[in-house]
Amino acid sequence: MQSVSSAIRSAGPAWRRRGLLALGGLFAGWSGAVMAGDIYVICNAAVSLRAVEARDLFLGEKSLAGSTRLQPADNAAAQAAFLEKVLKVDAAKYAVIWTKKAFRDGANPPAIKASDAEALAYVKATPGGCSYLSTPPVGAVTVVGKF
């Protein structure tokens, strides 16, 4: 059976170009699918936070913003994309990080909200509340960053 590389070599230059373009298109489509959708990290309107602090916030390294106790909440509907894009960890490691953090430092892991609507309502209603959405936030909240 002819291998892919030998098939490319035996094809003419025009076919090679077309093949590479097709491969490029496939890759672009695949990467677009993997990176689908933006994540909006938001906090209560009274909270001021920088985008670079989002990671510390959800890993328990930052718990105060001025005099306000930060109360992050995970959004189950957008958690997979958030962990991949913002924290750069998978769900298993995220759970382990918080188990160790709680046991070592007495910190509590974020609460969990079920949907964008619930996360948004939580952030609006909670002083120090922070979460993330898969859709642009509507209403009076602080957008910490778009990832």
Partner 1 sequence: MSNNINRAFRAILLGSVLAAGSPSIAIGAGADADKLAALQQQLDASIAMINSLAARVRELEAHQGAAPASEPGTPAAAPPDAQRIAAVEQKVAQIETANATRYADDTGLATHGFADVGAGTYNPYTNDAKGFYVGNLDFYLTPRLGDRTRALFELNFEASADGAIEVDLERAQIGYQFSDQATVWLGRFHTPYGYVNTAMHHGAWIMDALRRPRFLQFEDQGGNLPAHTVGAWVTGAARVGDDRVLYDLYLGNGQQIVDGTIDMRNAGNTHGNAIVGGRAGYQFGSAAWGGLTIGVHAFSSHIDDDQVPVDETRVRAWGAYAALDSDRWEHMAEFYIFNNQDLSGGTGYHRSEAGFAQLGYRGPWGVGYLRYERAALDQSDPYFARQRAGNSYYRGALGVRFDIDFKSALKFELANTHDTDRVVDQDNEALAQYAIRF
Of residues 66, 36, 48, the one with CA closest to residue 130: 48
Q: Binding mask 108-127 vs partner 1 (x if CB under 8 A, - otherwise)?
A: x-xxxxxx-xxxxxx--xx-
Task: Rule CB under 8 A: say whether 84 interacts with partner 1.
Answer: no
Nearer to partner 1, 22 or 91 (CB): 91
Q: Which of residues 24-83 bind partner 1 (CB under 8 A)?
A: 56, 61-64, 67-69, 71
Task: Rule CB under 8 A: say whether 142 interacts with partner 1.
Answer: no
State the CB neighbour count (10 A cutoff) for residue 62.
Answer: 15
Task: Rule CB under 8 A: say whether 139 interacts with partner 1.
Answer: no
* C-alpha dihedral, 16 to 17 to 22 to 28, nearest 10°: 130
Nearer to partner 1, 81 or 120 (CB): 120
In 47-129, which ranges are continuous DSSP H helix? 54-58, 79-82, 91-105, 116-125
Residues 6+ apart with CB under 8 A from 37: 81, 134
Pick the binder of partner 1 from 107, 142, 145, 147 (CB under 8 A). Answer: 107
Q: Could you give the CA distance from residue 145 to residue 137 in angstroms, rounded to a whole number?
A: 11
Write b or e for each residue in 123-134: b if 16 or more Cβ atoms lie within 10 A of its Cβ, otherwise e. bbebebbbbbbb
Task: Rule CB under 8 A: say whether 99 interacts with partner 1.
Answer: yes
Q: Least distance in Å: CB of 138 to partner 1?
A: 14
Task: Rule CB under 8 A: say whether 135 interacts with partner 1.
Answer: no
Binding site for partner 1 (CB under 8 A): 56, 61-64, 67-69, 71, 92-93, 95-96, 99-100, 102-108, 110-115, 117-122, 125-126
